[in-house]
C-alpha cells in the first residue's frame, strides 16, 4: 500500500525501523524457535517428574529390588519388573535379529539392483506397510502366525532344541517367538525405508571408486556403499528398536501374557507395554497402579540407556573415519 511512498524516503523508513525489523521476523522467529525447542525439554522433564511422583508408593515399597524381582502377583500385592523387562528385551532383540538383515538386504535391492519401475512400486508398498495400524498386524498374527508357530514352526524348532535349548518345549502358538516375529514384520518397513534413503544418498563416486579399483559389483556395494550409508542404516535400526520396545497392541495379542521368565522362546511371556495395557484400567489398589507406573519408568530408562548406547556406538564408529 505504502510501497511506492517509501521508495527514496529514508527518514520515514528509519522511524519505523524497529517495527519493520520486528516484522522482518528475526527476533520473532528466534523466539518461536526457542519456544519450540524449550517445549521438548519441558515435555521430557514433565514426563519424568510425573512418572517419578506417581510411582512413589511402589518405589518406597520395593526400592531398586523392583527391577530384579520376578514376582508379579497383584492378589498377593507382590510386584516385580524382571519378567516384563525380559519379555520386552527378548521380543525386541528377536524382532531386530529378523528384520535388520532382511530389511537392509531389501534396501540394497531397492536402491542398487532393482529397475527404477520395480523400485518405485516396491517402495510405495513398503511405505504403505509402515502405515498399517498395529492392531491389524495383531489380528493377522492371531489368524495366521499363531497357528503356524503352533503347528509347524514350533514342532520343527523343537527337533533342533538339543543344539539350541532356547527352542525347547511345547509350542502354544502364542509366546515370545510369535511376538518377536510380528514385531519383525512391523519394524521391517522402517528398516527398509530409512536404509534405502541412506543408500540412495551415497554419492556415485564412492561406488565408482571401488569399481575402478577392480572390485566386483557386490564388493563395491558391501565395501563402499554400505559403509558410507552406515549412519543412516544404524538410525533405521534404532528407530525400529524404539518401535519394538514400545509396541503394545500387536504384542499383547500374541505374546501369551504370562509374567514368567521362560528359557524357551516358544513359551508365553509378557512385555512392559502389554502389562500396562492389560492391567492399568483394572488395577487393584494404589500399589498395583503405582507399580505399573514404575514399570513405565523402567521402560523409559531402557529406552534412554539404549539410545545413549546408540550414540556411543555411532561416535565410536565415526571416529575411525566417516563420511559424516
Partner 1 sequence: MSAAPESRVRSAIPAQTLPQAVDGGQADSRPIKLKATGIDFFYGAFQALHDVSIDFFENRITALIGPSGCGKSTFIRNLNRINETIRGARCEGEILLDGENIRDIDVTQLRRRVGMVFQRPNPFPKSIFDNVAYGVKVNGLARGKRAIEEKVENSLRRAALWDEVNDKLHKSAYALSGGQQQRLCIARALAVDPHVLLLDEPCSALDPIATGKIEDLLFTLKDQCTMVIVTHNMQQAARVSDYTGFFLLGKLIEFNKTGVIFRTPAQKETEDYITGRFG
Binds partner 1 by CB under 8 A, chosen from 153, 174, 210, 254: 210
Query: In the complex, what is the shortest distance from the CB of residue 235 to partner 1, in angstroms, rounded to a whole number?
Result: 16
Is 323 near partner 1 (CB under 8 A)? yes
β-strands 72-73, 78-79: how paired? antiparallel
Distance between CA atoms of residues 297 and 301, nearest Å? 6
- Cβ neighbours of 5 (radius 10 Å): 9
Query: In the complex, what is the shortest distance from the CB of residue 313 to partner 1, in angstroms, rounded to a whole number?
Result: 16
Report the candidate in 242, 1, 275, 225 with the shortest Cα–Cα distance to residue 109: 225
Is 205 near partner 1 (CB under 8 A)? yes
Question: Which lies closer to partner 1 via its Cβ, residue 130 or residue 211?
Answer: 211
Is 212 near partner 1 (CB under 8 A)? yes
Is 321 near partner 1 (CB under 8 A)? yes
Dihedral sign from CA coordinates of 177, 179, 181, 183: negative
Q: Which of residues 269-298 bind partner 1 (CB under 8 A)?
A: none
Query: In the complex, what is the shortest distance from the CB of residue 213 to partner 1, in angstroms, rounded to a whole number?
Result: 4
DSSP 16-69: THHHHHHHHTHHHHHHHHHHHHHHHHHHHHHHHHHHHHHTHHHHHHHTTHHHH-
Q: Do the beta carbons of residue 140 and residue 181 sit within 8 Å?
A: no
Query: In the complex, what is the shortest distance from the CB of residue 229 to partner 1, in angstroms, rounded to a whole number?
Result: 10
Binds partner 1 by CB under 8 A, chosen from 4, 8, 10, 116: 116
Query: In the complex, what is the shortest distance from the CB of residue 203 to partner 1, in angstroms, rounded to a whole number?
Result: 7
Q: Do the beta carbons of residue 298 and residue 62 sit within 8 Å?
A: no
Instruction: Give Cβ neighbours of residue 91 (< 8 Å, ≥ 6 apart).
Output: 176, 179, 180, 183, 244, 251, 255, 269, 271
Query: In the complex, what is the shortest distance from the CB of residue 211 to partner 1, in angstroms, rounded to a whole number?
Result: 6
- Cβ neighbours of 294 (radius 10 Å): 24
Question: Which lies closer to partner 1 via its Cβ, residue 119 or residue 161?
Answer: 119
Binds partner 1 by CB under 8 A, chosen from 70, 216, 284, 307: 216
Is 117 near partner 1 (CB under 8 A)? no
Question: Which lies closer to partner 1 via its Cβ, residue 86 or residue 228?
Answer: 228
Question: Which lies closer to partner 1 via its Cβ, residue 90 or residue 199?
Answer: 199
Count, residues near partner 1 per rule CB under 8 A: 27
Extract the runs of DSSP E, i.e. beta strands, from the chain: 72-73, 78-79
Place of cell 518377536: 180
Question: Which lies closer to partner 1 via its Cβ, residue 158 or residue 223?
Answer: 223
If phi > 0 it is left, if psi is from -120 to 50 it is alpha, else beta; for residue 257 that is left
Is 110 near partner 1 (CB under 8 A)? no
Instruction: Give Cβ neighbours of residue 21 (< 8 Å, ≥ 6 apart).
Output: 27
Q: Which of residues 219-258 bind partner 1 (CB under 8 A)?
A: 219, 223-224, 227-228
Binds partner 1 by CB under 8 A, chosen from 156, 209, 304, 312: 209
Is 203 near partner 1 (CB under 8 A)? yes
Query: In the complex, what is the shortest distance from the CB of residue 224 to partner 1, in angstroms, rounded to a whole number?
Result: 6
Residues that bind partner 1 (CB under 8 A): 115-116, 203, 205-217, 219, 223-224, 227-228, 319-324
Amino acid at each position: 500500500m505504502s510501497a511506492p511512498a517509501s521508495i527514496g524516503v529514508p527518514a520515514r523508513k528509519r522511524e519505523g525501523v524497529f517495527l519493520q525489523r520486528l516484522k522482518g521476523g528475526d527476533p520473532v522467529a528466534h523466539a518461536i524457535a526457542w519456544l519450540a525447542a524449550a517445549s521438548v525439554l519441558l515435555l521430557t522433564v514433565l514426563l519424568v517428574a510425573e512418572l517419578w511422583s506417581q510411582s512413589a508408593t511402589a518405589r518406597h515399597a520395593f526400592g531398586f529390588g523392583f527391577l530384579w524381582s520376578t514376582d508379579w502377583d497383584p492378589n498377593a500385592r507382590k510386584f516385580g519388573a524382571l519378567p516384563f523387562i525380559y519379555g520386552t528385551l527378548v521380543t525386541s532383540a528377536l524382532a531386530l535379529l529378523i528384520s535388520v538383515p532382511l530389511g537392509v538386504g531389501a534396501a540394497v535391492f531397492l536402491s542398487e539392483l532393482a529397475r527404477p519401475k520395480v523400485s518405485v512400486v516396491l517402495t510405495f508398498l513398503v511405505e504403505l506397510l509402515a502405515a498399517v495400524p498395529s492392531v491389524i498386524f495383531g489380528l493377522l498374527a492371531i489368524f495366521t502366525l499363531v497357528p503356524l508357530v503352533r503347528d509347524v514352526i514350533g514342532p520343527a524348532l523343537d527337533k533342533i532344541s538339543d543344539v539350541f535349548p532356547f527352542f525347547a518345549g511345547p509350542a502354544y502358538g502364542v509366546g515370545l517367538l510369535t511376538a518377536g516375529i510380528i514385531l519383525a514384520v512391523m519394524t521391517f518397513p522402517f528398516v527398509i525405508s530409512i536404509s534405502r534413503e541412506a543408500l540412495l544418498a551415497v554419492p556415485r563416486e564412492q561406488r565408482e571408486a571401488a569399481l575402478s579399483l577392480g572390485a566386483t559389483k557386490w564388493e563395491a556395494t558391501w565395501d563402499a556403499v554400505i559403509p558410507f550409508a552406515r549412519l543412516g542404516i544404524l538410525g533405521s535400526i534404532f528407530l525400529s528398536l524404539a518401535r519394538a520396545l514400545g509396541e503394545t497392541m500387536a504384542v499383547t495379542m500374541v505374546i501369551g501374557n504370562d509374567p514368567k521368565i521362560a528359557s524357551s522362546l516358544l513359551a508365553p511371556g509378557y512385555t512392559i507395554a502389554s502389562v500396562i495395557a492389560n492391567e492399568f484400567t483394572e488395577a487393584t489398589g494404589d500399589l498395583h497402579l503405582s507399580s505399573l507406573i514404575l514399570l513405565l519408568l523402567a521402560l523409559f530408562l531402557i529406552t534412554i540407556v539404549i539410545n545413549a548406547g546408540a550414540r556411543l556406538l555411532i561416535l565410536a564408529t565415526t571416529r575411525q573415519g566417516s563420511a559424516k
